Amino acid sequence: MGLSMSRDPNVIFTAFGDMMRVPGAKGTPLEHKARGLDIRIVYSPSDALKLGVAEFIDEFHCSLPPP
């Protein structure tokens, strides 16, 4: 859902650098950036706030298999 919002010309999509290569249903943020959408790498949530945007936050959950 988040990446689909980046098609709106009024939206600046921000992501941490490690998220730029994580594939979604329609590609990665890096691929969308290559197509000309306004997708920017930020290094902290405060960087996104300086741009005047709200950051789309995704969480990774890691779990280890039982011993």
Is the four-CA dihedral 53, 47, 20, 65 of positive or negative sign? negative
Which residue carries 């950036």 as its tokens? Answer: 33
2 neighbors 23 (Cβ within 8 angstroms):
no
Yes or no: say if 55 and 14 are a contact pair by the CB < 8 Å rule. yes
Name the residue ranges covered by the structural domains of the chain: 3-43
**Per residue in 35-64, pLDDT tens?**
999 999 988 878 877 887 555 555 444 444
pLDDT digits (tens, 9 = 90+) for 2-46: 788 888 888 888 888 888 898 888 889 999 999 999 999 988 878
Residue 56: phi, psi to the nearest 5?
-85, 115
- The two most distant CA atoms of the chain are separated, in Å, by 49
